[in-house]
Copies of this chain bind each other. A is one copy, B any other.
Amino acid sequence: MPVREAIRVAVVGATGYTGAELLRYLARHPHVRLTAATSEQSAGKAIAEVYPSLRGKVDLRLFAFDAAQVADHAEVAFVGLPHGAAAAAVVALLERGLRVVDLSADFRFRDADEYARWYQPHPAPQLLAEAVYGLTEYHREGVAGARLVAVPGCYPTGALLGVLPLLEDRLVDPASIVIDAKSGVTGAGRTVAAEYLFAEVDDNFRAYKIGTHRHTPEIEQEIRCHAGGTHPVTFVPHLLPIRRGILTTLHLRPGDGVDAAAIGNSYRRRYEGERFIVLSGDRPPEIRDVVGTNDCAIGWTVDRRSGRAVVVTVIDNLGKGAAGQAIQNFNVMMGLPEASGIDQLALVP
């Protein structure tokens, strides 16, 4: 490996769960020097005061976001702010010449109107054409030269990696897509609300936002982009009593004569050589297979009796669903080996 100077990197919004996971990965990234971390609530504190597990490992003092100050320290910024706030920060950072990996929803949509329907009027629509949707396996070339990458939402990542090959290969009916997804609690970030208290979540399970979750249009956009046509999906998210991980069960209507072997071939062809896609065949993958990693594992079955295909994918929502995929995109963007800093093994058990 040729000696290469470390890239100076900042994390904007470092104390949320996604921010913490970015720090965990970046602090051990072989080509990165972590130089700045911002937080509005904890400005002035050492990061180890907020995350004691970083004591002696990450020695940074948090400051309130200031684009100029970030630009003094870093060439690339990861932005882990809520939507809306993210766009403002991104604009300011790009103006100062940084390259940006944004983890919010702000730059995931090609169409400002679609964003407006589900979120709010878009604060920086002029950037939408430039931003690259960072589902790396599908937009790697765009990411390579990008100034701004939008990291996909966690649910869309888990759903799209499972469904897109089958749609591209016309193996399943695009009008038949049912996405029954189950997520760990950190998918909601570090939101301090009664519904996320331990005593409300432990030994409990529930569906929420049936048909109304904001990740729905993001999924449909990419289906349109990769398979053509407009196909509303049924998307039902559920809240699991676990910290990390999303398991997505896709219920699909296969075309005539499409069997499990055909589906397997489609995945193998599409994902050959992909470092972070694990094909597990007819063994449905489990969430713990991927916790702490950037992997997406995929299993599939065709139910002979009902004729439906059932695809199961798992990701770590903070890994491939957020911080891991952000760094994967960063690596591609900067010409680094794609697995740099994110080739860890799952923490099992």
Contacts and interface: CB of A to CB of B under 8 A. Distances in A.
Chain A: number of interface residues, binned into ranges? 35 or more
A207 B299 CA distance: 10
B55 A280 contact: yes
Contacts of A197: 185, 190, 192, 196-198
Contact of A278 (B55, B58, B306): B55
Interface in A259-302: 278, 280, 283-293, 297, 301
Interface in A111-162: none
A300 to B, nearest CB: 9
A156 to B, nearest CB: 16
A207 B24 contact: no
B247 A207 contact: yes
Contacts of A180: 180, 249, 251
Contact of A202 (B178, B198, B211, B216): B198
Contact of A52 (B208, B283, B344): B283
Nearest to A186: B199
Contacts of A301: 210-211
User: Top 8 nearest A-B pairs by Cβ distance?
Assistant: A211-B303, A53-B346, A206-B286, A198-B201, A199-B349, A232-B305, A234-B306, A204-B288
